[in-house]
């Protein structure tokens, strides 16, 4: 199979307080629709979207998680394996803004600190009723080192950009990790720490068994625990799911 035939699958979780517009955002992005009705998500929901990004075919698997605390224990299990995250709050809901850091911690507890996360201020069509100042939101994004977007799912503003950013970041990260793995590892020279004998002269001996040596004697020999042979360039796509 050719590399070009492969698709990069990315698991994205969408988190944030209830009613900030998570389900609406996913519906808008995947189906191009918006509904005014609010139906709170029970547990978790899932939709997919395929896109072409530069020369890559990407399949985004979008996990819509319930914002209500009562579902916390259940939804956390679905964070596992996430490779990117949308963390949303609403322009008209102060609590949702104040909960941002907490949501970030919850996700990072499950998936570690290194996945790309976009902080999204949704409902900017309701700026007249805003309870979060723009500088506050930008300040928070800067402090938490998150890319910040302002969206209106209703008006279809900036929604595509959020997911495009996350997919791009994920692919970049994957490629960097692939390159690192295929970099030749230089074999470290054997280092010796000469301990001074009671006479004060530095003594050297090398038992060459790879262990720290001869504490009773005078020399500790350190060797790299594993010497890796430079490997052939690895195919980064081997990490991707193939459908």
Ligand X SMILES: Nc1nc2c(ncn2[C@@H]2O[C@H](COP(=O)(O)OP(=O)(O)OP(=O)(O)O)[C@@H](O)[C@H]2O)c(=O)[nH]1
Residues that bind ligand X (CB under 6 A): 18-24, 35-38, 40-41, 66-68, 122-123, 125-126, 152-154
Parallel/antiparallel/unpaired status of strands 191-194 and 219-222: antiparallel
Nearest CB to ligand X, comparing residues 16 and 213? 16
Nearest CB to ligand X, comparing residues 58 and 60? 60
Nearest CB to ligand X, comparing residues 86 and 146? 86
Give the pair of three-digit tokens for residue 104. Answer: 């970030």
- Smallest gap from Cβ 120 to ligand X, in A, equals 10
- Smallest gap from Cβ 72 to ligand X, in A, equals 12
- Smallest gap from Cβ 226 to ligand X, in A, equals 46
Nearest CB to ligand X, comparing residues 5 and 128? 128
Nearest CB to ligand X, comparing residues 10 and 124? 124
- Smallest gap from Cβ 232 to ligand X, in A, equals 46
Q: Please report how many Cα atoms fall inside a 13 Å half-sphere around the Cα of residue 192, on the Cβ side.
A: 14
Nearest CB to ligand X, comparing residues 58 and 100? 100
- Smallest gap from Cβ 25 to ligand X, in A, equals 7
- Smallest gap from Cβ 76 to ligand X, in A, equals 14
């Amino acid at each position: 199979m050719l590399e070009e035939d492969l698709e990069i699958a990315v698991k994205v979780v969408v988190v944030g307080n209830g009613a900030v517009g998570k389900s609406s955002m996913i519906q808008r992005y995947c189906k191009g629709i918006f509904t005014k009705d609010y139906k709170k998500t029970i547990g978790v929901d899932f939709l997919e979207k395929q896109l072409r990004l530069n020369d890559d075919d990407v399949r985004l698997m979008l996990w819509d998680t319930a914002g209500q605390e009562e579902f916390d224990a259940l939804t956390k299990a679905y964070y596992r394996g996430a490779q990117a995250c949308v963390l949303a709050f609403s322009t008209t809901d102060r609590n949702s803004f104040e909960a941002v850091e907490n949501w970030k911690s919850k996700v990072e507890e499950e998936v570690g600190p290194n996945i790309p996360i976009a902080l999204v201020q949704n409902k900017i069509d309701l700026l007249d009723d805003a309870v979060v100042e723009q500088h506050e939101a930008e300040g928070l994004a800067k402090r938490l080192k998150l890319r910040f977007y302002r969206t209106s799912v209703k008006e279809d503003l900036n929604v595509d950009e959020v997911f495009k950013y996350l997919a791009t970041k994920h692919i970049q990260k994957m490629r960097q990790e692939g390159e690192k793995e295929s970099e030749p590892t230089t074999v470290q020279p054997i280092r010796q720490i000469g301990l001074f004998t009671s006479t004060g002269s530095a003594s050297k001996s090398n038992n060459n068994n790879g262990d720290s040596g001869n504490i009773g004697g005078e020399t500790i020999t350190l060797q790299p625990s594993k010497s890796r042979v430079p490997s052939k360039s690895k195919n980064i796509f081997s990490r991707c799911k193939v459908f």
